[in-house]
Amino acid sequence: MPDVKSAARGLYINGGWHPSRSGRLIEVVDPSTGAVLAEVPDATVEDAHACVEAASAAASVWRATAPRKRSEILHRCFELMIERQDMLATLISMENGKALRDARSEVAYAAEFFRWNAEEAVRITGEFGIAPSGTNRIIVDYQPMGVCLLITPWNFPAAMATRKIAPALAAGCTVILKPASETPLTAFALAALYEEAGVPPGVVNVVTTSAPGPLTAEILADPRVRKLSFTGSTGVGRLLLAEAAKHVISCSMELGGNAPFVVFDDADLDAALDGAMIAKMRNAGEACTAANRFYVQSGIYDAFAHGLASRMSALKVGSGVEPETECGPMITRKAVEKIDRLVSESKARGARVLCGGEALSGNGFFYPPTVMTGVPDDAEMAHEEIFGPVAPLYRFETEDEAIDRANNTEYGLAAYVYTRDLARGLRVSSGIEAGMIALNRGLVSDPAAPFGGVKQSGLGREGGQHHGIAEFMEAKYIATSF
Ligand code: NAD
């Protein structure tokens, strides 16, 4: 079992554990029961200043540390995470509620960012060329940006943090991580693990707060902070972009999604249903890449709807840490109320519920797997992230119509397409406005591929061969002649 007390022992600043200067605490709640699991410090702006101080003091030594050495430390982080996969997965399940099997997959995915970036750390190269005029040479050197503020959401407490920390450290940056206050225990447990792996004091600092706006504004106002990497909702992303603009800070933004899942008549029905279950139900629908709108062509619509309802209604709903659970609780009661409101609005406008459709009573925050047909295109759930186990189906007739309706959203993160016709699959993939397309697959995320969105789903990419590290480096051009 994870040591919850140890994970909640303090703010992690300059390699030490500290209480908040306010003495206040934030309760961490177990979404499966509603009970308080632990309390973590509620940081003040002075605590935030201490983090910047520590990250700044560590920056010059870390950027000068040999890439091979940085790579070995990152690789050790990967190994320790895999060795402790069960413990970390249980901790994630306890504070986030996700089913243990999803939490285990998250730990493996999160650890992979360390392995991948350990491999990338020693392959950062520059450029050298002759200016077209022939008068001078052009040298391009890639340098670490410096101190970075990383802000992460609660839905992947490990992976959203390592997807930023690993490339930042590989590039030679130092960081301050502000995890979501719903799920801080994983972030603290991982900080202890990084220390054990050899990450020097001050290179990673972790701070929790109940007032993220003022605290992060204070950090961004410090001229030593040169990078903001945020994962979370589009609304908060907009606020942070405005805050960062005041100081012209480089921003990477991984924001909300509204993924279409398009199934053509010629799709392999079983494969599409398997993919739909992954795209919708990984993390019980609490994923930015979650399929939010199912566009299904007329000829296969009824078979797909019934197949999906039969698979969804067979899922075992329960406490995240129970090994047989397939759909855990939502993160908060408020999240359940939002899902309930979206479903009720669609029902009132004529949508039909094939399974689920009403919040479950009890102490935990449970919503059952739900399938709905006949949802109108202007329903609220067609334009907002449902962020729960609800699959709304929309019927379509033609390929152009599917693309147009898929694109009828301000978001553009992920999309899913099922067809046996490869030319059509590539045509539709090209036409859909999204940063990532899963063609005949239910999963896109891969540390080796560039993850990110277009439109209001974000700016920049994480992971991938050079994309993730490039977000933490500046190009310095040197003109010289010889
Ligand atoms: P959120 O935007 O409410 O919070 C994200 C983080 O920002 C948390 O740490 C929170 O404490 C902090 N925050 C909140 N208000 C802030 C403020 N005013 N100033 C500074 N920080 C602030 O999002 P959430 O509810 O934690 O997570 C769910 C959202 O994250 C969804 O929209 C989901 O799509 C998105 N998400 C996106 C990706 C991606 O890679 N694109 C991945 C996971 C989640």
**Tens place of pLDDT per residue across the chain (482 aa):** 898 988 899 999 999 999 999 999 999 999 999 999 999 999 999 999 999 999 999 999 999 999 999 999 999 999 999 999 999 999 999 999 999 999 999 999 999 999 999 999 999 999 999 999 999 999 999 999 999 999 999 999 999 999 999 999 999 999 999 999 999 999 999 999 999 999 999 999 999 999 999 999 999 999 999 999 999 999 999 999 999 999 999 999 999 999 999 999 999 999 999 999 999 999 999 999 999 999 999 999 999 999 999 999 999 999 999 999 999 999 999 999 999 999 999 999 999 999 999 999 999 999 999 999 999 999 999 999 999 999 999 999 999 999 999 999 999 999 999 999 999 999 999 999 999 999 999 999 999 999 999 999 999 999 998 899 999 999 999 999 99
DSSP code for 327? B
Residue 196: how many other CB atoms lie within 10 Å = 11
228 ligand 1 Cβ < 6 A: no
CA of 251 to the centre of ligand 1 (A): 15
**pLDDT number for residue 403:** 98
CA of 135 to the centre of ligand 1 (A): 49
- For residue 406, what is the enclosing H or E element? helix 399-406
For atom 17 of ligand 1, the residue with the nearest CA is 213
Q: Tokens standing for 238?
A: 């907009």
Which of the listed residues 42, 109, 155 should we mutate to test ligand 1's pocket, taking the one with most ligand atoms within 8 A of CB? 155
Largest CA distance in the chain: 77
| Per-residue model confidence as pLDDT tens digits over 341-358 | 999 999 999 999 999 999
CA nearest neighbour of 169 among 474, 469, 475? 469
154 ligand 1 Cβ < 6 A: yes
Which of the listed residues 40, 185, 231, 258 should we mutate to test ligand 1's pocket, taking the one with most ligand atoms within 8 A of CB? 231
Distances (CA, A) of 325 to 277, 316, 319: 15, 5, 7
41 ligand 1 Cβ < 6 A: no
Q: Tokens standing for 456?
A: 């209001």
Q: Is 122 helix (H, G, I), strand (E, B) or coil?
A: coil
339 ligand 1 Cβ < 6 A: no
Atom of ligand 1 nearest to the CA of 243: 19
**pLDDT number for residue 65:** 98
For the chain, list the domains and their CATH numbers: 4-255+457-480 (3.40.605.10), 259-447 (3.40.309.10)
CA of 8 to the centre of ligand 1 (A): 21
For atom 43 of ligand 1, the residue with the nearest CA is 288
Atom of ligand 1 nearest to the CA of 239: 18
452 ligand 1 Cβ < 6 A: no
Which of the listed residues 218, 236, 243, 413 should we mutate to test ligand 1's pocket, taking the one with most ligand atoms within 8 A of CB? 236
CA nearest neighbour of 419 among 411, 407, 410, 427? 427
CA of 180 to the centre of ligand 1 (A): 8
**pLDDT number for residue 93:** 98
Q: Tokens standing for 108?
A: 């493996």
Tell me the β-bridge partners of 317. 327
Which of the listed residues 207, 230, 233 should we mutate to test ligand 1's pocket, taking the one with most ligand atoms within 8 A of CB? 233
For atom 26 of ligand 1, the residue with the nearest CA is 153
**pLDDT number for residue 1:** 86
226 Cβ contact partners less than 8 Å away, ≥ 6 residues apart: 145, 146, 147, 148, 249, 250
DSSP codes joined into one string, 211-227: -HHHHHHHHHTSTTEEE
Does residue 254 carry a catalytic annotation? yes
**pLDDT number for residue 358:** 96
184 ligand 1 Cβ < 6 A: no
β pairing state of 11-13 and 16-18 = antiparallel
Atom of ligand 1 nearest to the CA of 457: 41
256 ligand 1 Cβ < 6 A: yes
Residue 32: how many other CB atoms lie within 10 Å = 24
**pLDDT number for residue 6:** 86
257 ligand 1 Cβ < 6 A: yes
**pLDDT number for residue 107:** 98
CA of 278 to the centre of ligand 1 (A): 22
Q: How many CA atoms lie within 13 A of 326 on its CB side?
A: 13
Distances (CA, A) of 101 to 81, 93, 108, 164, 319: 16, 9, 11, 23, 12
